[in-house]
Amino acid sequence: MPIRRVLVSPSSAKHQANWPASTWLLFAGSLLGLAAFLYPFILPSLLRAIGTPARLPGVEGPLVLAGVALCCVFLLVTRFAAARQLTANPAKTAALLGAIVALDASLRLVPSLGGATSIFLLIILVGAVFGAELGFLTGALTLFLSAFLTGGVGPWLPFQMLGAGWVGLGAAWLPRGHRGYPHLVSLILYGIGGGFLYGALLSLYSWPFASPGLAESSTLFWHPGLGPRDTIHRFASFYLVTSFSHDALRAIGNGLLLLTLGPPLVRTLERGRRRLSWRQPQGLPALATSSPVIDVQRGHS
């Protein structure tokens, strides 16, 4: 009896029916997280709209924003963990993700120069090779685990998880139609830009709480009574003075690591992706390595 080819659909009607809801969940979590970062720009407009006098945030400000960011991380992690690409082989995916996160988090214990750190190397490469879901989970969970290893748990942790997760997610949008030198250049440029973007996001979170109680006449720190132009100007000054050199070292470190270790790691991760995506077709018996090869198209052995 001839053996017919069996096609395994990557999605089912159930997944397709639930896709709009999960898309809205992803959109809501990302938008809410971005709003938490943009707190210094959003709050003054809200205060002016409702006629409330401007005042500097107290100690409750970081805790409230940390709670909002934590909810966003939970929404996004829940959404990505339920993605079809990850649930196809849950055991293999969990093992791979756990190994990558444990290895990457341990790299944070390695002494670094200024802002240069090696943890973004795997975050970027996993996103570029495995896609947005695994890239976001690698970034967020790496920062979560490494915070416990280094004693860095605090209200800033959800923002670090969001920032690193977005770096891994964005790497999935790099062009995949080519390999070799052009792909390596795009990875290096993205690593440099991601280093600056991550630092700017974390600076944006900490800026309103850097010097609470400071007079409005300051030309560097945030005040809720500022207009949009003054807010942008002061943040740019604050970032250049406090974080630019630190982030420049991180960006340069990302670029050098991707240049030297990127190609061999990409080949290793692609081999892991091919093994992770393999599934035994339904209806066909498992083939032993010593059995003759079966031609599934013609049914001959």
Q: Could you write out the three-class secondary structure of 148-179?
A: HHHCCCCCCHHHHHHHHHHHHHHHCCCCCCCC
Q: What is the pLDDT along the chain (301 residues), one digit of tens a residue?
A: 444 444 444 443 444 434 445 566 667 777 888 888 888 887 776 766 666 655 655 555 666 777 777 777 877 777 777 666 666 677 778 888 889 999 999 988 887 777 788 899 999 999 999 888 889 989 999 999 999 888 788 888 888 999 999 999 999 988 876 567 888 999 999 999 999 999 999 998 888 877 655 545 567 787 777 777 888 888 898 899 888 999 999 999 999 999 999 999 999 998 888 876 644 444 444 444 444 443 444 444 4
Write down the pLDDT at residue 213. Answer: 52
Count of C-beta atoms within a 10 Å radius of residue 143: 26
| DSSP H stretches of helix in the chain | 13-37, 39-50, 60-81, 84-87, 90-106, 119-130, 132-150, 157-171, 181-206, 228-242, 244-277
Q: Is residue 221 part of a domain?
A: yes
Digit-coded pLDDT (tens) for 129-172: 988 888 998 999 999 999 988 878 888 888 899 999 999 999 99
Q: Is residue 182 part of a domain?
A: yes
Q: Is residue 10 part of a domain?
A: no
Write down the pLDDT at residue 290. Answer: 42
- Token pair, residue 116, equals 């240069």
Query: Are 271 and 129 in contact, with CB atoms under 8 Å apart?
Result: no
Q: What is the CA radius of gyration of the chain?
A: 23
How far is it, in rounded angstroms, from Cα 128 to Cα 21?
26
Q: Is residue 3 part of a domain?
A: no
CA 194 → CA 56, 146, 167, 190, distances in Å? 31, 19, 6, 6
Write down the pLDDT at residue 110. Answer: 83
Query: Are 156 and 231 in contact, with CB atoms under 8 Å apart?
Result: no
Write down the pLDDT at residue 229. Answer: 85
Q: Is residue 112 part of a domain?
A: yes
Write down the pLDDT at residue 126. Answer: 93
DSSP 110: S
Digit-coded pLDDT (tens) for 205-215: 888 877 655 54
Write down the pLDDT at residue 61. Answer: 60
Burial of 257 (0-12, 13-18, 19+ CB in 10 A): buried
- Token pair, residue 63, equals 């805790």
Q: Is residue 291 part of a domain?
A: no
Q: At 270, is the secondary structure helix, strand, or coil?
A: helix
Q: What CATH number should be reported for the domain holding residue 239?
A: 1.10.1760.20
How far is it, in rounded angstroms, from Cα 179 to Cα 176?
7
Residue at token pair 């795009």: 186
Q: Is residue 300 part of a domain?
A: no
Digit-coded pLDDT (tens) for 4-17: 444 444 443 444 43
- State which residues form the domain around 163: 21-52+59-277
Count of C-beta atoms within a 10 Å radius of residue 129: 21
Q: Is residue 154 part of a domain?
A: yes
Structural domains of the chain, count: 1
Query: Are 231 and 40 in contact, with CB atoms under 8 Å apart?
Result: yes
